[in-house]
Structure 1
Amino acid sequence: MFLHRWSYVLLVSMLPQFCMASAFHLDPRGEKLYQQAVPYLQQANNKLEAVPTNAPSANAEEKERSMALVDEAGALLKPAITLLEQAATLGHPVAQYRLGLIYVMLYPSDVIKEKACPLFEQSLAHGFAPPALEISSWCLKFIDTPQYQTALQAIEVSMPIYEKYFPQPVVKLECRREEPVGLAMQWGSSRDYQAEIYRLQGDSNRAQRTEYYQKALDVNDCYKVKRRMGRAS
């Protein structure tokens, strides 16, 4: 009898999050536009990853080659931005995130807050995990809102909806020990991002910090959590 009552309580407590995850459906027009943008994004990423890490101090020939790669990447991003803008307008969370990430790459901090933060917040509100990392860097006012905490809590339930869209890029995965190299982004699986969400929850929830940090460690041995807990070697 007790077990049945506990199962009922657990179901009721999770119901709002399940409803949030199951009620959201991607607009097929937005999905089509996002998928059209993906090849441009991939090609642009390949160009940026090919830029040598020593480009600023390289010889004239290497600098010229690096600038050519950056220009080629920029040319590829132009049609991607157009497609992502249309998909984002239709409420596509992944398109909103990738468009915001491009703004982070292209614009100064004050413009990022104006243009990228609303996209990151909308994307996160639909249960897409990656924008939470950029929000923690650029959209600090949003971190102190109940909506941010609610969105983080819902990620665990909504993550399976977006599994097919991973891996996804981000400026920096804090749970990884290695640093980004040159202009390259760091790419993470859904598990990588789930660990980051637990880390963020632990950072902002002192009462449950140990619990969330342990979850981050269980998922991918989060290096930043290990450092904060004094376990890093």
Structure 2
Amino acid sequence: MCLLPLMAWADEPRIDPHADLLYRQALPLLQSADTQSSTLSLNDRPSEKDLMSQVQALGRSLEPAVNLLQKAAELNHPVAQYRLALHYITYLPAAEISSAVCPLLDASLHQGFAPAALAVEGWCPNLREQAGYRRALERANSQASQFAAYYPQPAIRLQCLRERPKGLAMQWGRQRDFQAEVYRLLASVDRVHRTQYFQKAVDINGCATAQRHLISLN
């Protein structure tokens, strides 16, 4: 019995302090870029050439933040790995996205960072086939409180929220929003208990997608 506290502690995410400092230094740069992307989404139908020019300029302005995220990700910082993956999803050519982001998302999710699970669903179907995928989802919910200080977090598309993302802007979710997404994903891999998982997603944040599934199952 005396080993139980040590075992529990060993399973918790341990974030390198230097990696966390690098991530924190990147945050104001990321926030500035998010403001710029929101402005782009409000423009009145810019031409494709103008929009591409603005996106490229925004990508260049993010280079200092990306350098910091890369250094933090190399030190296995799960939140930095997720944010770096989001950057690649947004700015890399489509053919290069999977190879760049899936190792980052896999590492982040297996440390229990819930937002990575949502990105895995959209970009890394092969990871969902792995034997440890369900366990990683369960860990993401059991360790949600360990990452409380890192929320809110952006996402390409939060399925549980009714509102849709606008233009280039990301959707921002609270800790409970991403927990609901993980329960929704657990329902997709555990058909025996899917009703219970969908209900948990609804209970946490009123997950619209899970609610529709519950109605169809009744």
Alignment match, 1:73: 58
Mark the CA change 1:108 to 1:138 in structure 2 (over 3 Å): closer, same or farther. same
**Which residue of 2 is the match for residue 191 of structure 1?**
176
* CA distance in 2: counterparts of 1:227 and 1:122, whole angstroms: 31
2:37 to 41, 44, 48: 48
Q: 2:95 aligns with which of 98, 110, 122?
A: 110
TM-score, structure 1 as length reference: 0.84
Matches within 5 A, 1:216-231: 216-230=201-215
Residue 167 (structure 1) aligned with residue 152 (structure 2): yes
Provide closer, same or farther for how the CA distance between residues 17 and 137 of structure 1 changes in structure 2, counting only shifts above 3 A. Answer: farther
Per-residue displacement from partner, 1:126-149 (whole Å, max 9, x unpaired)? 010001011001100110112111
SS of equivalent residue, structure 2 residue 143: helix
- The C-alpha deviation readout for 1:89-132, integer Å capped at 9, x for no partner, is 00100000000000000123331110100000000010100010
Distance (Å, rounded) in 2 between the aligned partners of 1:127 and 1:143: 15
Q: Is the 8 A contact 1:47 1:72 kept in 2?
A: no
Name the CA shift for 1:18/1:193 in 2 (closer, same or farther; >3 Å).
farther
Q: Which consecutive residues of structure 2, in runs of 5 or more, have no partner in the other structure? A: none
State the 4+ residue runs in structure 1 displaced beyond 6 angstroms: 15-18
Which residue is equivalent to 2:11? 20
The equivalent of 1:182 in structure 2 is 167
Within 2, Cα distance between the matches of 1:228 and 1:54?
A: 36
Cα pair distance change 1:17/1:194, threshold 3 Å: farther
Structure 1 stretch displaced more, 153-162 or 194-203: 153-162
Quote the residue 2:19 is aligned against: 30
- What TM-score comes out, normalization by structure 2 length? 0.90
Secondary structure at the residue paired with 1:187? strand
Q: 1:50 to 1:116 in 2, by over 3 A?
A: same
Aligned partners of 1:35 and 1:205: how far apart in 2?
A: 37
Partners of 2:8 and 2:161 in 1: CA distance: 28
Equivalence for 1:5: none
The C-alpha deviation readout for 1:6-45, integer Å capped at 9, x for no partner, is: xx9xxx8xx9776412xx3111110111111111100011
SS in 2 for 1:175: coil
Q: Could you say what the CA RMSD is over the residues aligned between the two structures, in angstroms?
A: 2.4
Percent identical: 41
- Ranges in structure 1 where 5+ consecutive residues have no aligned partner: 1-7
Partner of 2:122: 137
Asked if the contact 1:47–1:69 (Cα under 8 Å) also holds between the matched residues in 2, the reply is no
Match of 2:74 in 1: 89
Matched-pair contact (CA < 8 Å) for 2:187–2:198: yes
AA at the equivalent of 1:77: L
